[in-house]
Amino acid sequence: MRIVDIIEKKKLAKELSREDINYFISSLVDGSMPDYQATAWLMAVWFNGMSDDETAILTEAMINSGEKIEFGELTDKVVDKHSTGGVGDKVTITLIPLLAAAGVPIAKLSGKGLGHTGGTIDKLESIPNFSCELSVDDLIKQVNKIGVAIGQQTGHLTPADGILYSLRDVTSTVDSMPLIASSVVSKKLAAGSGNIILDVKYGSGAFMKTPEDAVKLAKLMVNTGKKLNKSIIAVVTSMEEPLGRAVGNSVEIIEAIEFLKGNAEGSDIAELTYDFAQIALLQVGICRDKQEARKLLKDLISSGKALDKFRELIVAQGGNPLVIDDYKNFPQSKFKIEVKSDVDGFVNRIDAYKVAYGCKLLGAGRERKNDPIDYSVGVFLNRKTGEYVAKGDVLFTMYANDEGKALACEDYCRAAFSVSTEKPVIQNQIYEIIRP
C-alpha cells in the first residue's frame, strides 16, 4: 500500500476503505509518512469530504492510535464536555470545577488553539507551571483523588489527533466536518467517560458559519458516537460574538476565576456554564430537574466550593494557585491600551472572527506548528452586544507587548464592532439540542 495512492483516491472523491484509513493513521503515528503527505491528504478531505462510514472508521483508527482510559465502575458517572471551538470560549474552565464540586467526576482531554480559535490547554498553561501532560495512570488517579483532571493528546492518548490537529491548525484544513468530528469524538471516546456533552458552535467565530451546518456537524458527531457504541449529547450554540469579555489566554482564565468567585452572574458565560452544568447534572442523575440543579450550582459558587475545586485542580497539575488571589502572578504584558468609541449608540454586533484575528496578531495564537504562545496578550471587550457606548467611552482594551502588533490588532477589533441607534434583540445562546 502507498500513501500517495490513498491521497489520489481522496483527491478523486472516492471512498477510502478501512485498510486505507488504518494504514494512513499508522504511518502518521509511526512517523514513516512525512508532514507534506499528511497535509495533502487533509486538503483532499477538506475538498471532497468523507462518508459517515469513513468518518467513523477514521475516528476508530484515531482512538486506537493510542491508549484508552478506563474508569471501570465509575464510567457511568464520569462526564466529559468539549467545544468545537470558539472565541473567548472559556466554558470548559468555568464548568469543570463547578461540576467536580457538585460531585460529578470529570475527565477531559482538551486541545491547543486551532485556527483562529483559542485552546483550553493554551489558556490553562498561562497559569505558571500548569501542565496538561498527564499519563493515563496519572489522569485516572487524579480523577479518583480530587474528582477532576484535564489532559491532552500526547504520545499515549490519541496521538493521531495530536499530529493532525497541529497540521490542520496551520494549513487551513480545520473547518471540515469529518475532520472536526473525528478529532473531537476520538478524544472523547479515548478518555473513557460515560457521559459526553458537546458544544457545537456556529457563527462568525466558529468553524461552522450557519446554525444549519452546526446541526449537520452535531448530528455527524452524535451518529459517529452511535456507530462506535457511545451515547453523545450535542448542544448547538451561537458563536456570533466572543463569549464573555476576555479573548486571549491568561485574560480568559482571569474571567473564568471571576465567574467562580461569583462576580459574573447574569453574563453570557455564567448562563452557558449553568446550562451545560444542568444538562450534566440531570444526565448523571444528581438532580431531578433544572430548578434543583440551578440552586445547587448557585450554592457551589456562593459558598466558594467551586473556586476551591479549581484551586485543587491547579495544585494537582503543578500550577501556581496564587494566580487566584493575585492576578499579577500571571505573565504580564508591557502595554495596556484602551481604545475609545468615536460614536454614540448601542453595540449591535461584535464579529468574533475579527476579534480573534486581532488577538492572533498580538501573539495569542500560532502561525506555525511549534510557535510559542504569548500568554500575557489579549483583548478585553468593555462593551458587549446590546450595551450602550458614548463617544469617548472605552470600547475595548488591548494587552500587548509590541506597539506595532497592537496597532494591527486595533484595526481588526475596531472593524469588529457595529454600533447603531437601535438596541438589538439578544438571541438565545442555545439553538438546538441533539440527542442520540
Q: What length does the chain have?
A: 436
Pairing of strands 79-83, 335-340: unpaired
Residue 182 is among the residues annotated as catalytic for this protein: no
Return the C-alpha cell found at 418: 457595529
Does 85 interact with ligand URA (rule: CB under 6 A)? yes
199 is catalytic: no
By the rule CB under 6 A, 147 interacts with ligand URA = no
**Shorter beta-carbon distance to ligand URA: residue 156 or 187:** 187
Q: Minimal distance in Å, beta carbon 158 to ligand URA? A: 9
Q: Does 183 bind ligand URA (CB under 6 A)?
A: yes
Using CB under 6 A as the binding rule, whether residue 114 contacts ligand URA is answered as: yes
Give the count of residues interacting with ligand URA (CB under 6 A). 9
Q: Shortest Cβ distance from residue 251 to ligand URA (Å)? A: 21
Q: Return the C-alpha cell found at 47.
A: 475538498
Does the annotation count 18 as an active-site position? Answer: no
C-alpha distances (whole Å) from 53 to each of 5, 50, 59, 63, 174 are: 20, 8, 10, 15, 20
Q: Does 180 bind ligand URA (CB under 6 A)?
A: yes
Establish whether 168 is a catalytic residue. Answer: yes
Closest Cα to residue 324, out of 252, 270, 254?
254
d(CA 166, CA 229): 28
Question: At closest approach, how far in Å is the CB of 82 from ligand URA?
Answer: 6
Who's near 119: CB < 8 A, 6+ residues apart?
110, 111, 112, 113
Q: Does 126 bind ligand URA (CB under 6 A)?
A: no
Give the SS3 label for residue 187.
helix
- Segment (H or E) for 120: helix 120-124
Of 10, 90, 108, 168, the catalytic one is 168
Taking CB under 6 A as the rule, does residue 184 contact ligand URA?
Answer: yes
Q: Which is nearer to ligand URA, 86 or 358 (CB)?
A: 86
Stretch that binds ligand URA, among 35-43, 53-61, 176-184, 425-433 (CB under 6 A): 176-184
CB 236 within 8 A of CB 272: no
Catalytic option among 108, 116, 187, 201: 187
| Span near ligand URA by CB under 6 A; candidates 17-25, 86-94, 96-104, 175-183 | 175-183
> Does 111 contact ligand URA by CB under 6 A?
yes
- Among this protein's residues, is 26 annotated catalytic? no
> Which parts of 284-334 fold into alpha helices (H)?
290-302, 305-316
State the nearest-atom distance from the C-beta of 150 to ligand URA, in Å: 13
Cβ proximity of 134 and 2 under 8 Å: no
Return the SS3 of 110.
strand
State how beta strands 232-238 and 195-202 pair.
parallel
Q: Which one is catalytic: 83, 110, 176, 183? A: 183
State in angstroms the smallest separation of the CB of 290 from ligand URA: 27
Q: How far is the CB of 206 from ligand URA (least distance, A)?
A: 10
Q: What is the Cα–Cα distance from 332 to 328, expressed in whole angstroms?
A: 7
* Residue whose C-alpha cell reads 496538561 in the numeric block: 132
Catalytic residue among 10, 27, 80, 82: 82
Binding residues for ligand URA (CB under 6 A) = 84-85, 111, 114, 179-180, 183-184, 187
Catalytic residues: 82, 161, 168, 183, 187
